[in-house]
């Protein structure tokens, strides 16, 4: 079973992925946050930089596309194949309002016939194997029963399921029964994603679904960047955590203004990292900082000297913060 780092748009950038892999070995693959191809038929400089395999190499990266246009998908898949990748992933999960209203991401699940036509067009002409990451419906988990036979028609390289509907965003419980049902019905390798926050959560998923190809971990790895190290029997190393934080900041400072783009990036990161602290007092101080020069020493002191608990406390992610991050 492999342990993958989920794509988190705006957070798990190329710099983030490379620095994380250097400080916390053990993640099998890093997924590149979605790329939206357009009819312009040209990758932007930023997209090219994100897709450049760099030191991780194509084998440890999964590029992902978000579109409802078969021609745009196929063009971008060709560009991805030319870069040396062996798989391209289709995003059927993004719950963001602007994406869904355009019929993309989880919005493609709304109309099963349109989805079927889209899949037929891309699977017929794809220049490389296609994997899919999906939710189980838009409004109601019962929609999954209608979607399953459609997915069953295509040679999906691997199916990652986040067993929530679009309406549920990232909140509340997942629907384990929908995942179990998929394992009974679909012949493809399956990957489980959703609310894996501790090594015990990962073990439970492995035990619950014995034929799993692997799991994908998102927010759990943001809160505890050593989560996969710990899943593989290692310990969280404070020096590695500090090195990760400092190297990421150093890389971002090459092209971000400290009080402009960098500060909100690190506040978003600390929204999760602060779940390792015993309470929210330090987080409240961090989020009030309006200058990197104030934020940075506070953050560094917490990493070097703060009390860090064994498990991140996800009950403290406030609804407001979750809504801010829905993407």
Ligand X SMILES: Cc1cc2nc3c(=O)[nH]c(=O)nc-3n(C[C@H](O)[C@H](O)[C@H](O)COP(=O)(O)O)c2cc1C
Q: For 275, which DSSP code?
A: G
Cβ distance to ligand X smaller for residue 294 or 311: 311
Backbone angles phi, psi at 237, to 5 degrees: -105, 120
Taking the least distance from each CB to ligand X, the nearer of 79 and 94 is 94
Q: How many CA atoms lie within 13 A of 55 on its CB side?
A: 9
Q: Which of residues 37, 70, 220, 225 is near ligand X by CB under 6 A?
A: 220
Segment interacting with ligand X, rule: CB under 6 A, options 8-16, 143-151, 241-249, 251-259: 8-16
Whole-angstrom Cα Rg for the chain: 20
Length of the chain: 327
The answer to whether residue 325 forms part of the interface with ligand X (CB under 6 A) is yes
Q: Contact with ligand X (CB under 6 A): which of 62, 90, 138, 196?
A: 196
State the residue for tokens 């798990």: 12
Q: Which of 80, 73, 19, 22 is nearest to 47 (CA)?
A: 80
Q: How far is 175 from 163, CA to CA, in rounded Å?
A: 5
CA–CA gap between residue 5 and residue 17 (Å, rounded): 9
Give the nearest residue (CB) to ligand X.
Answer: 218
- What x/- string results for residues 82 through 121 when contact with ligand X is judged by CB under 6 A? ---------x-xx---------------------------
| Residue the block writes with tokens 């620095």 | 19
CA–CA dist 232, 266 (Å, integer): 27
Residue 274 as a binder of ligand X (CB under 6 A): the answer is: no
Structure tokens given for 253 = 């400072």
Nearer of residues 193 and 241 to ligand X, judged by Cβ: 193
- In angstroms, give the least distance from the CB of 305 to ligand X: 28
Q: How far is the CB of 195 from ligand X (least distance, A)?
A: 5
Q: Please identify which residue in 1, 9, 47, 128 interacts with ligand X, judged by CB under 6 A.
A: 9
* Binding positions for ligand X, rule: CB under 6 A: 6-11, 33-34, 64, 91, 93-94, 133, 162, 170, 193-196, 217-220, 325, 327
């Amino acid at each position: 079973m492999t342990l993958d780092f989920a794509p988190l748009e705006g957070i798990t950038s190329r710099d983030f992925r490379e620095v994380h892999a250097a400080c916390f070995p053990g993640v099998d693959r890093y997924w590149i946050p979605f790329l939206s191809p357009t009819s312009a038929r040209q990758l932007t400089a930023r997209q090219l930089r994100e897709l450049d395999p760099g030191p991780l190499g194509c084998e440890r990266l999964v590029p992902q596309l978000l579109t409802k246009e078969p021609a745009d998908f196929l063009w971008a898949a060709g560009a991805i194949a030319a870069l040396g990748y062996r798989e391209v992933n289709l995003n059927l999960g993004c719950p963001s309002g602007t994406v869904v209203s355009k019929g993309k991401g989880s919005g493609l699940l709304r109309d099963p016939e349109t989805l079927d036509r889209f899949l037929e067009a891309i699977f017929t002409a794809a220049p490389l194997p296609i994997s899919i990451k999906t939710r189980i419906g838009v409004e109601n988990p019962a929609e999954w029963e209608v979607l399953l036979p459609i997915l069953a028609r295509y040679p999906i390289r691997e199916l990652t399921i986040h067993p929530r509907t679009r309406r549920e965003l990232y909140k509340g419980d997942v629907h384990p029964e929908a995942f179990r049902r998929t394992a009974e019905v679909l012949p493809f390798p399956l990957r489980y994603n959703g609310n894996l926050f501790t090594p015990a959560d990962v073990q439970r998923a492995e035990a619950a679904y014995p034929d799993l190809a692997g799991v994908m971990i998102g927010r759990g790895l943001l809160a505890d960047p050593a989560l996969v190290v710990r899943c593989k029997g290692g310990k969280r190393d404070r020096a590695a955590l500090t090195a990760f934080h400092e190297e990421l900041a150093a890389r971002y400072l090459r092209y971000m203004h400290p009080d402009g783009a960098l500060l909100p990036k690190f506040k978003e990161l600390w929204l999760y990292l602060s779940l390792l602290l015993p309470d929210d007092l330090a987080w409240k101080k961090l989020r009030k900082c309006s200058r990197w020069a104030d934020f940075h020493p506070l953050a560094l002191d917490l990493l070097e000297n703060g009390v860090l608990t064994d498990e991140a406390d996800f009950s403290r992610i406030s609804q407001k913060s979750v809504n801010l991050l829905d993407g």
